[in-house]
């Protein structure tokens, strides 16, 4: 029962709750506030490029806001390995990983499903709950065949704007074709938490269907290769009918400036982002959840 406070001259004041009930009320309000924040729509300022006319080959930049239900959204973290065949590529992954982790934390807090996809490392995670979570999703038939790799389809996109036929490494490396790949796991900087999933295959689609996931944010490396071609990545996801967005400041390319179009490595990445915006999906920035300034590699001084 609430207590009645008595003020000066015997006037009755507002009833006061016992301290224990006040604390419970405060806790309940905090929980309700957290739940409201978690289920609030994601408002993601996005950029894409629309053709000015059929067959013109000219595009204009278009901005819009993606309003996505976080409970129907996943974040795919592509091939952020602990090592790489190219030392510069490995260094850039290490530099970008803290920002990827912060973005994943913010997305997770909003109710987004985090799917870690470090290809060819599933043996390392064979007993991890996140691995079992992905494996446990019932198999479903997608609207398009699930492929181990989605190559360029000339009917959907032209050749890439950068020449990566040399493998794209922009420094000297000791790894040679045919040697074992040096990566063993996702880089440890990126935390894998309870409720996250781990896969490197079409299990990702099964999991998304099980969870009612319709929207997918994609980050990681490398945009001209794995981020487009993997079975859990952009080409496959778009083909499955998912609404997809690339996080354009949380990606990198395998591009050597000695190859066409002979621009800096980072300018090559920007050309690839524009390619994706033209032919595949819009892009967003990590600032949409984290605020502040977009991530930028230290070497990107342009």
Q: What is the CATH number of the domain that holds 83?
A: 3.40.50.850
Parallel, antiparallel, or unpaired: how do β-strands 73-78 and 215-221 relate?
Answer: parallel
| Average pLDDT, integer, range 247-251 | 98
Cβ density class 61-100: b for 16+ within 10 Å, e for less: eeeeebebbbebbbbbbbbbbbbbbbbbbbebbebbbebb
pLDDT exceeds 70 at position 11: no
- Average pLDDT score over the chain: 90
Alpha-carbon gap, residue 234 to 238, rounded angstroms: 6
| Average pLDDT, integer, range 252-261 | 98
Count of residues in the chain: 302
Alpha-carbon gap, residue 112 to 114, rounded angstroms: 6
| Average pLDDT, integer, range 102-114 | 98
| pLDDT confidence bin for 202, thresholds 50/70/90 | confident
DSSP string, 55-71: T---EEEEEEEEEE-GG
Which letter does DSSP use for residue 10 in this model? G
Domain membership flag for residue 299: no
pLDDT exceeds 60 at position 32: no
Domain membership flag for residue 154: yes
Alpha-carbon gap, residue 156 to 228, rounded angstroms: 13
Task: Give the pair of three-digit tokens for residue 20.
Answer: 């224990």
Domain membership flag for residue 77: yes
What pLDDT is stored for residue 36 in this prediction? 46
What pLDDT is stored for residue 91 in this prediction? 98
Domain membership flag for residue 5: no
| Average pLDDT, integer, range 260-285 | 98
Higher pLDDT, 107 or 177: 107
DSSP string, 164-202: -TT----S-----TTSPP---SB-TTS---TT-EE-SST
Closest CA to 83 of 192, 193, 221, 266: 221
Give the phi and the psi of residue 224 in degrees, each rounded to 5.
Answer: -80, -5
Residue that is written with structure tokens 């506030």 in the block = 33
The tens digit of pLDDT for each residue in 34-78 reads 444 556 899 999 999 998 877 677 899 999 999 999 999 999 999
Domain membership flag for residue 94: yes
Domain membership flag for residue 271: yes
pTM: 0.87
- Domain hosting 173: range is 41-290
Our count of domains for the chain comes to: 1
Alpha-carbon gap, residue 134 to 178, rounded angstroms: 30
The tens digit of pLDDT for each residue in 120-163 reads 999 999 999 999 999 999 999 998 988 999 999 999 999 999 99
Domain membership flag for residue 187: yes
Which letter does DSSP use for residue 249 in this model? E
Radius of gyration in angstroms for the set of CA atoms belonging to the chain, rounded to a whole number: 23
Alpha-carbon gap, residue 82 to 90, rounded angstroms: 8
Lowest mean pLDDT among 37-51, 93-107, 200-214: 37-51
Alpha-carbon gap, residue 93 to 252, rounded angstroms: 8
Task: Provide the percentage of residues in the chain whose pLDDT is more than 70.
Answer: 87
Cβ contact 185:121 at 8 Å: yes
Parallel, antiparallel, or unpaired: how do β-strands 59-68 and 73-78 relate?
Answer: unpaired
Domain membership flag for residue 33: no
């Amino acid at each position: 029962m609430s207590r009645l406070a008595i003020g000066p001259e015997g006037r009755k004041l507002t009833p006061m709750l016992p301290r224990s009930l006040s604390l419970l009320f405060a806790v309940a309000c905090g929980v309700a506030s957290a739940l409201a924040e978690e289920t609030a729509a994601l408002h993601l300022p996005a950029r894409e490029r629309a053709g000015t006319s059929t067959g013109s080959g000219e595009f204009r930049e278009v901005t819009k806001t993606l309003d996505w239900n976080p409970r129907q959204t996943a974040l795919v973290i592509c091939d952020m390995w602990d090592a790489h065949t190219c030392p510069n590529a490995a260094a850039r992954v290490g530099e970008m990983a803290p920002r990827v982790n912060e973005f994943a934390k913010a997305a997770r807090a909003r109710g987004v499903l985090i799917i870690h996809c470090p290809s060819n490392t599933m043996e390392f995670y064979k007993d991890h709950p996140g691995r079992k979570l992905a494996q446990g999703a019932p198999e479903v038939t997608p609207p398009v065949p699930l492929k181990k790799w989605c190559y360029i389809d000339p009917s959907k996109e032209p050749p890439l704007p950068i020449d990566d036929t040399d493998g794209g490494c922009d420094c000297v490396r000791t790894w040679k074709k045919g040697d074992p790949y040096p990566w063993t796991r996702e880089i440890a900087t990126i935390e894998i938490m309870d409720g996250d999933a781990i896969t490197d295959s079409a299990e990702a689609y099964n999991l998304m269907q099980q969870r009612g996931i319709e929207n997918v944010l994609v980050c990681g490396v490398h945009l001209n290769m794995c981020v487009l071609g993997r079975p859990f990545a952009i080409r496959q996801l778009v083909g499955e009918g998912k609404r997809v967005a690339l996080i354009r400041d949380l990606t990198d390319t395998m591009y050597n400036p000695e190859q066409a179009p002979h621009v800096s490595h980072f300018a090559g990445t920007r050309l690839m982002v524009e390619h994706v915006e033209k032919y595949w999906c819009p892009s967003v920035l990590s600032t949409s959840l984290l605020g502040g300034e977009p991530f930028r590699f230290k070497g990107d001084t342009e």
